[in-house]
Amino acid sequence: MTTTLQRAGQPVAPTVSMFDPVYLGIDEYGHHVHCPFIYRNLLVAGEPGSGKSGLLNNVASHATLASLLGRVRLVLFDAKLVELGPYMGVADEFVGLDLDHAIDVLERLLIVARNRYYWLLVHRGRKIEPDDNMTIIVTLIDELAMYSTVLGTKQQQERFVELLRGLVSLGRACGMPVVAATQRPSFDIIPTSLRDLFGYRAAFRCTTIGSSAVILGQGQAEAGYNANDISPTNPGEGYLIAEGGTPRRIKAAYLSDAQIYRITDYATDVRRRNGIHTADMNKRLAALLPAA
Ligand SMILES: Nc1ncnc2c1ncn2[C@@H]1O[C@H](COP(=O)(O)OP(=O)(O)OP(=O)(O)O)[C@@H](O)[C@H]1O
């Protein structure tokens, strides 16, 4: 579904839809790997420096370009600020280190999800289709563990996980997919009940066979799919598994920081000219400052 974007009457670039599969990289045979994200969530895990951000950036950049037609919104959670920071200007929400803010945003997303199911019921649908003209809301979370185990109180962390579980369960059919990444693939961060809600899971290099199994599933290591055997000198290599399928060895496509900023600067400019919401960066940056 490639459409040509108009700017002041001039076609400036082809753009993509969130209903198009997202380009993630290549497999071990050199074939391109594309994944349709619209009806599936993605969980990405691996040790620090294993290449998780590359995959997140591929999805975030696709969503950014898809947002140029005004039908995609980004909601970003990044406790490190700089991983998803380049997309701040095109995001509807950017959550940093504030767990109350994280909970508030998830609560609002769940209200939208429930309203969408009501809308689907009334319109006799089961899931959002391209012709429904519904905005696709893509939520990206970098370092899930910061929100579920580090920031805030135990009660807030539990509330965050409960809401996230709700969004991941409800989001897929109502055009609200979630992509979450963690450096710590362990059962306390990703219980099986949460993991199994993610239709796609990617394991980059993991420190142990056990942590690889947390993402890929029990029995996969014995079958030869073990993210602990990935070389630490090959970031971006990982196993990608889709619901019920066999893990596929991939090398994620990598966007440099300069390329990411080129995409987001372009998108911010086009969105502004087309009257699509862009964030007030001064306000957004001020809101991220720690309280004095
Ligand atoms: N697909 C890739 N191809 C080539 N190089 C890559 C790829 N992915 C990552 N790298 C290299 O590895 C470095 C670390 O990658 P990245 O920041 O994506 O890891 P990460 O798993 O997100 O780490 P962290 O958990 O610390 O954020 C990058 O700066 C880059 O130099």
Q: Would strands 136-142 and 178-182 be described as parallel, antiparallel, or unpaired?
A: parallel
CB 50 within 8 A of CB 205: yes
Give the chain's length.
Answer: 292
Q: Which of 43, 53, 81, 150 to mutate to test the pocket of ligand 1 (most atoms within 8 A of CB)?
A: 53
Would you state the pLDDT for residue 8?
Answer: 46
Domain membership flag for residue 67: yes
Residues 6+ apart with CB under 8 A from 274: 7, 68, 70
Domain membership flag for residue 233: yes
Provide the CATH number for the domain around residue 167: 3.40.50.300
69, pLDDT greater than 90: no
- pLDDT tens-place string over residues 241-283: 998 789 999 999 999 999 999 999 999 998 888 888 888 888 8
Tokens 């971006």 belong to which residue?
Answer: 236
Please give the backbone phi and psi of residue 42, each rounded to the nearest 5 degrees, phi first.
-130, 130
Domain membership flag for residue 11: no
Domain membership flag for residue 138: yes
Domain membership flag for residue 20: no
Cβ of residue 252 lying under 6 Å from some atom of ligand 1: yes
Question: What is the domain count for the chain?
Answer: 1
CB 60 within 8 A of CB 140: yes
Cβ of residue 49 lying under 6 Å from some atom of ligand 1: yes
Domain membership flag for residue 195: yes
Cβ of residue 58 lying under 6 Å from some atom of ligand 1: no
- The answer to whether the annotation marks 154 as part of a ligand binding site is no
Q: Whose CA is nearest to atom 13 of ligand 1?
A: 49
- pLDDT tens-place string over residues 151-199: 999 999 999 999 999 999 999 899 999 999 999 888 888 888 888 899 9
Q: Is residue 10 very low, low, confident or very high in pLDDT (cuts 50, 70, 90)?
A: very low
Domain membership flag for residue 73: yes
Cβ of residue 235 lying under 6 Å from some atom of ligand 1: yes
What's this model's pTM, rounded to 2 decimal places? 0.91
- Can you count the helices (H) and strands (E) in the chain? 8, 12
1, pLDDT greater than 70: no
Residues 6+ apart with CB under 8 A from 8: 273
Residues 6+ apart with CB under 8 A from 59: 22, 37, 42, 138, 140, 179
Q: Which of 23, 231, 254 to mutate to test the pocket of ligand 1 (most atoms within 8 A of CB)?
A: 254
Q: Whose CA is nearest to atom 2 of ligand 1?
A: 236
Domain membership flag for residue 236: yes
- The answer to whether the annotation marks 125 as part of a ligand binding site is no
- The answer to whether the annotation marks 46 as part of a ligand binding site is yes
Least confident of 24-33, 102-111, 147-156, 181-190: 181-190
- pLDDT tens-place string over residues 123-134: 999 999 989 989
Would you state the pLDDT for residue 2?
Answer: 47
Question: Element (H or E) spanning 268, and its range?
Answer: helix 257-273
Provide the residue range defining the domain that includes 189: 29-287
Helix residue ranges per DSSP H, 98-153? 99-122, 144-145
CB 267 within 8 A of CB 279: no
Calculate how far, in angstroms, residue 256's C-alpha sits from the geometric centre of ligand 1: 10
Q: Which ligand 1 atom sits nearest the alpha carbon of residue 142?
A: 27
CB 87 within 8 A of CB 74: yes
